[in-house]
């Protein structure tokens, strides 16, 4: 099934969305919000599935036109957001970008940071950021939403806890990244609010394009209307089962936790990139200098994962970067 969240109060209103993304219906009487649904999944999932089937069959009297612009992130906030770096090609390139030594056991132990989960952005919301000089960058990813995961879960059993699959733009401010990476404490200022495509879907909706804990779809990225890349999610070195098990190695995960894949990246240069930093490193390797600048206020980025028929099962992220209204304007800016 496909689910979304209508903007309104803090956690929005849960919508059931038709397979073709043309219609939706409120999940009234089943679950008020998506987080509520995830926390009570065994009880509500069958009823949501029934409503989904009725919607697809045209048997819902109060169906409405589905409008992605009226949607927040599927989960406007969640108990936890943990983002991996499961594409080794991207990770190795970023080591060169940040001029950091190779991460020990990078190809055998997943790398992951814990980001802010209290203020996710919807698919068409403007992205307010403080300063162009911070190195504004997009990062196209896939992710999963889990129910309650016990501490010490195996990678195989972790797959049983995946309830939904999502599409993500994990915004980065590269000007802070190198310093924070070298600090040993991980990202903080380098990671502003993360954005999501409007629709979260159960893995079965992807059919054979969901296997081995990976999304086998190409993520098409455009920057200011120009092609930037279409890498495929199949090249994850670690599948989502392994990423979940890594996150839960020493603690349980609450229902509604989101686990990200890290930037989608392919070895084949013809696939392009899903972030600017990766393209810049490739330019340095090939041409000895980076030619591509980071984003400016007013720039737009469009991200759409497409299936074999050209369909967009998650909908589209289409956002503009804008200058944030800052508190304490007289204070020194970094």
| pLDDT at residue 134, rounded to an integer | 96
CA distance 286 to 303: 26
Among 51-65, 179-193, 231-245, 256-270, the minimum mean pLDDT is found in: 179-193
CATH 1.10.3720.10 fits 81-323, yes or no: no
CA distance 288 to 139: 23
Beta carbons within 8 Å of 327's beta carbon, 6+ residues apart: none
Length of the chain: 334
Q: Average pLDDT for residues 68-97, to the nearest whole number?
A: 89
Could you tell me what percent of the chain has a pLDDT over 70? 95
Place 180 in a pLDDT band, splitting at 50, 70 and 90: confident
Cα-Cα-Cα-Cα torsion 154, 156, 158, 160, nearest 10 degrees, comes to -140
Among 94-98, 104-108, 116-120, 167-171, the minimum mean pLDDT is found in: 94-98
Judge contact between 47 and 112, C-beta under 8 A: no
| pLDDT at residue 333, rounded to an integer | 40
DSSP secondary structure letter of residue 121: B
| pLDDT at residue 79, rounded to an integer | 97
| pLDDT at residue 195, rounded to an integer | 98
Question: Above 60 in pLDDT, residue 331?
Answer: no
| pLDDT at residue 328, rounded to an integer | 61
Q: Average pLDDT for residues 29-33, to the nearest whole number?
A: 97
Cross-strand partners of 140: 169
Could you tell me the two tokens for 146?
């889990």
Would the pTM count as exceeding 0.85? yes
Judge contact between 172 and 277, C-beta under 8 A: yes
| pLDDT at residue 97, rounded to an integer | 62
**DSSP per position, 271-331:** GB-SSHHHHHHHHHHHHSS-------TT-EEEEEEE-TTS--TT--EEEEEEE---S-TTS
Question: Above 90 in pLDDT, residue 186?
Answer: no
The average confidence (pLDDT) of the chain is 93
φ/ψ of residue 54, rounded to 5: -65, -40
DSSP secondary structure letter of residue 40: T
Cross-strand partners of 259: 82, 144
Q: Average pLDDT for residues 163-188, to the nearest whole number?
A: 87
Question: Above 60 in pLDDT, residue 222?
Answer: yes
Residues of CATH 3.90.850.10 domain(s) within the chain?
A: 81-323
| pLDDT at residue 152, rounded to an integer | 98
CA distance 188 to 181: 10
Question: Above 50 in pLDDT, residue 334?
Answer: no
Closest alpha carbon to 3 in 54, 45, 59:
45
In tens, the pLDDT along 100-126 reads 677 777 788 898 999 999 999 999 999
Question: Above 70 in pLDDT, residue 327?
Answer: no
Which residues of the chain form beta strands (DSSP E)? 2-6, 13-17, 23-26, 64-65, 81-84, 112-115, 127-129, 136-137, 140-146, 162-169, 172-173, 195-196, 200-201, 210-211, 214-215, 218-223, 226-229, 258-260, 300-306, 317-323
Could you tell me what percent of the chain has a pLDDT over 90? 82
CA distance 202 to 205: 6
Place 276 in a pLDDT band, splitting at 50, 70 and 90: very high
């Amino acid at each position: 099934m496909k689910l979304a969240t209508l903007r309104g109060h803090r956690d929005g209103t849960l919508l059931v969305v038709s397979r073709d993304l043309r219609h939706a219906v409120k999940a009234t009487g089943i679950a008020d919000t998506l987080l509520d649904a995830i926390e009570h999944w065994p009880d509500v999932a069958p009823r949501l599935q029934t409503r989904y089937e009725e919607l697809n069959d045209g048997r819902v009297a109060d169906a409405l036109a589905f409008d992605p612009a009226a949607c927040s992130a599927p989960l406007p906030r969640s108990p936890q957001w943990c983002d991996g770096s499961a594409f080794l090609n991207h990770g190795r390139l970023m080591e060169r970008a940040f001029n950091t030594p190779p991460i020990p056991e990078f190809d055998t132990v997943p790398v992951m940071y814990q980001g802010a989960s209290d203020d996710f952005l919807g698919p068409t919301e403007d992205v307010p950021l403080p300063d162009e000089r911070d190195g504004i960058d997009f990062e196209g990813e896939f992710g999963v939403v889990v129910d309650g995961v016990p501490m010490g879960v195996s990678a195989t059993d972790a797959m049983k806890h995946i309830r939904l699959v999502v599409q993500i733009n994990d915004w980065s401010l590269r000007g802070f990244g190198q310093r924070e990476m070298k600090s040993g404490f991980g990202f903080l200022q380098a990671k502003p609010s993360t954005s999501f495509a409007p629709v979260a879907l159960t893995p079965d909706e992807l059919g054979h394009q969901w296997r081995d804990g990976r999304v086998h779809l190409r993520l098409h990225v455009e920057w200011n209307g120009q092609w930037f890349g279409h890498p495929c999610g199949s090249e994850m070195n670690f599948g989502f089962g392994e990423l979940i098990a890594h996150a839960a190695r020493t603690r349980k995960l609450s229902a509604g936790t989101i686990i990200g894949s890290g930037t989608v990246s392919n070895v084949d240069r013809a696939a392009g990139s899903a972030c600017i930093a990766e393209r810049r490193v490739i330019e340095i390797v090939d041409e000895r200098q980076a030619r591509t600048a980071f984003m400016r206020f007013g720039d737009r980025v469009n991200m759409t994962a497409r299936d074999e028929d050209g369909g967009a099962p998650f909908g589209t992220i289409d956002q503009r970067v804008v200058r944030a209204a800052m508190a304490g304007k007289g204070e020194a800016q970094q």
